[in-house]
Structure formats: structure tokens, C-alpha cells
Amino acid sequence: MKKDYIYIFLISFIPQLIILLLSPPILFWDEYSYLNNVKRVLLNTPYFEYYRFPLLWWMLIPISYITNFNIFLIKLFLIFVFSLSVVVLYKILEEYDNKYINYILILFYSLNGLFLIWASRIYPDILASSLLVFSIYFYIKYFKDSKEKNLISYSLFSVLSTLSKYEYGLWLISSMIFLNNKDKLKTIIYSLLFLTPYFLYNLILYNNPIFIFIEQAEVVYKYTSYQPISLFLFSLLISSSAYLFSLLQNPKKIENYNKSIYLYIILSIIFLAFFVKSKDPRYILMILPPFLILTRIFINKIKGLQFPYLFLFSILNIVSMYYGIIFLINYNTNLGNTYLNYIYRASDYLKQYNPEVILTNDNWPMIAYYTNSQVYIMYNATYLIPRVYPQFIVYSPNCGVPFPFNPNDYNISLIYYYIDPNGCQIYVYRVNDYFVK
């Protein structure tokens, strides 16, 4: 049995290790944001995005300190958490006898295109979905043995998953519905207890126990644009079509703890389709773990049709794998994601000046990360220059956000210019004085 767990761990860990080893040095946008928050705590750097989901960067503080901000080791830790959650997911599937079916499900789950892309990234989604698996595991255990420690563990991991990404709180809502009244009350008490550090953090720094939750919601509402539901449905079909059949089963005929899983999936799909403005495929990660459990229940009910369904399941997952692999190939072979990247080159150039304040119209978290400076979004250079006193302006006319900017309107000098392999231009200006013409 223990050998099975080792094999399952390796099935999920080795592909991500290979992806990590082949990854180019330039990170995704939000990865720099979370790392900047860690730097703020450990190195007292000025740039800080306080509204970010807290648990990820809180967890990365000791990891970054121990590893001296070694990106490879930080990502390796997150991959380890993901692989551990896959082992726990396999333990949930062990309720059903045929371990070869369980192996097939775990194999294709681990190689899902979304996991291939995101499981080695410094993003909150994988952490949240991994913690969700732990919560589901203890939730099911509590239904079976009624041990208080399992109810406590379920509450703890539900809270941790929610603090990783707030929408995962839908699991806490869905799961509590099927608890008896006494257990509901205890779950609420335990959850509030585990949320206390979060409330205190907000109260101490911002005088509001849910301040960063409100700010995060406001930022998302203001700065993301509506995308069509068709885009979400396309992503759902590509990444999850193999699992959608599991929704055809009658939820009234499954155990209460599995009804919670069914309800969570339905609520999540409705939430992502109708209430989330952006339709990033990454968001679908929140339903993949419970979808796998529901799929195993479905397979157990279709006696005589298991082989044709598993064949279809495999084909549909290969499509998802294909999309993930194509994305990785395109990203990894793009020279713009190497140290030839235009933002990296500008940031690397500026390090010799030890800048304190920079204005830019492109990838401000990345510039902040490499220069350890305060970076402002130059939505209005005329307004900002005499107020934030930047020493430098980093401007991309063709790849950055098209904020209005005419260099001739300011007393600035061009000190660096570069075009990267993708044709992205970058100009670095020194600000000579803060008088606007």
C-alpha cells in the first residue's frame, strides 16, 4: 500500500520537475507580485501589493528566507505540496476497489493540461486546490468515523484553502449544508478560530478585519474586463470534458459527503461562468479535484460500461494534455521569456543606479522585483512626476499599457533603449527635474 503512495507521488511529481527544469527564467506576472510581498517582509523593499491573496506569500516567507529566494527551490516546495495532495486524492479514491482504475484517473489528473501549466507556478490556485483536497479528505473521514480531530482538520484546511483564494470558500459553504446542526455550529466556531490570525492581521494594519478581502474584490472588479461565457465553456470543455459526464448521476443517490462535492462543483461552475468577469482557464483548477472524486463514483455506478468510458476519458484527457504541452512549448521556446526579455534588460540596467522610485507602463511587479524599488503605474505621468518624484521612467510604446506619454513634455533624458526578440521596445529615461512643461 505504501508503495502505491510513492508511485502516485512520483506520477505527479516527476512531470512537474521536468517542466520546472525546462522553464525559462522569466516568471509570470503575478509570480513577481507574490515574491515582492515576501521581499517586503524579509528585505524591507518598498513595493507591496497588500490586496493579494495572503496565504501563498505568507507561506513563502520562511521558504524564501531558508532558500535565499532560490526560485527553483520555492517552486519545488509548491510542487511537493501539489504531489502530496495527489496522494491524498488517491487515498480518497481507495474507497473503490479497482486500483487500476484509480491509477488511470490519477495519471490523467496529474497530466491535465491546466496542471502542466500551473502546478510549478508561484500562483495561489494550485495551493488552494491542494488544500481543498486535504479538506475533502478529512470531511469524508469525519462522516465515516465522527472523530472530532477530523472535523477540526476539515475546518482548518477549508479555511487555509479559502485564504489561498477566496472563492474556494464555496467548499466550506457546500460542505456545511450536509452537516447536522451541531456539527455546523462547531465548524463555524473552528473556522472563525482559524481565521483569527487573518482578522488580526487586517485589524492591526488596516483597522478592518476583512480589509484586504474588500480591496482584492475592488481591484478585481475595477481592473478586469468582462469576457464572454463562451470562453469559459470552451476552457471547461478542453480541461474538464472527461469529467462532465459525472454530473449526469443522480445526486440524491450518493452519500451526503459526496453530495457536498456535487454541490460545490455546480456552485463553482455557476460562479465562474456568471460572476467572475475574467474567464482565465486557470480558475477551473478549483473544480478539478472534486470532479475526479465524482468521476470515480460515476465509474463505479456504470458497471459494464467502465471500459468504454475509460477509453473516452483517456482520449479527452489527451486533448487537455495536448493544449498544456503546446502552451509550454510556445512559452519555453519564446526568447522573450529568457534574459533577453525587454523588461528584464531594462531592470538589470537600472540596478547600477540603485533606483528608489520608478514610473512604468509595463510589468511593474517585474521591475520592482529586479530593482528592489518602488514602482508606480504611469497612468498619468504629468500628474505623477511632481508627486512621487521618480528617478527613472521605463516605457514601452508597443508592448506596455498604452497610457498617454510624450517624452518631449518632460525634462527627461534617454539613457537606455532595447528591442527584445519579440520586437518589444523599451526606453529608460532619467528624470532630470520634476517640472512639467
C-alpha 130/C-alpha 294 separation (Å) is: 17
- Residue 157 · residue 196 · CB < 8 Å: no
Choose the final residue of a domain: 286, 310, 332: 332
- Give yes or no: residues 321 and 397 share one domain: no
- Give yes or no: residues 131 and 144 share one domain: yes
Check pLDDT > 80 for residue 435. no
Choose the final residue of a domain: 332, 366, 381: 332
C-alpha 215/C-alpha 52 separation (Å) is: 9
Q: Tell me which residue range forms the domain holding 426.
A: 337-436
Q: What is the pLDDT of residue 392?
A: 97
Residues 393-422 have pLDDT tens digits of 999 999 999 999 999 999 999 999 999 999
Task: Using CB atoms within 10 Å of the CB of residue 289, give its burial: 0 to 12 exposed, 13 to 18 middle, 19+ buried.
Answer: buried
- Give yes or no: residues 351 and 272 share one domain: no
- Give yes or no: residues 242 and 364 share one domain: no
pTM of the model: 0.95
- Give yes or no: residues 303 and 416 share one domain: no
- Give yes or no: residues 217 and 271 share one domain: yes
- Give yes or no: residues 298 and 212 share one domain: yes
Choose the final residue of a domain: 332, 349, 381: 332
C-alpha 424/C-alpha 134 separation (Å) is: 43
Give the number of domains in the chain: 2
Check pLDDT > 70 for residue 291. yes
Residues 26-74 have pLDDT tens digits of 999 999 999 999 999 999 999 999 999 999 999 999 999 999 999 999 9
Q: Residue 47: which of 366, 353, 368, 371 has the closest Cα?
A: 368
Check pLDDT > 80 for residue 9. yes
Share of the chain above pLDDT 90, in %: 92
- Give yes or no: residues 155 and 197 share one domain: yes
Q: What is the pLDDT of residue 437?
A: 62
- Give yes or no: residues 201 and 297 share one domain: yes
Q: Where residue 1 falls among pLDDT bands split at 50, 70, 90? A: low
- Give yes or no: residues 326 and 341 share one domain: no
Residues 257-271 have pLDDT tens digits of 999 999 999 999 999
DSSP 8-class letter at 168? G
Q: Where residue 235 falls among pLDDT bands split at 50, 70, 90? A: very high
C-alpha 159/C-alpha 171 separation (Å) is: 10
- Give yes or no: residues 239 and 369 share one domain: no
- Give yes or no: residues 292 and 371 share one domain: no
Residue-by-residue DSSP string for 181-212: HHHHHHHHHHHHHHHHHHHHHHHHHHSSTTHH
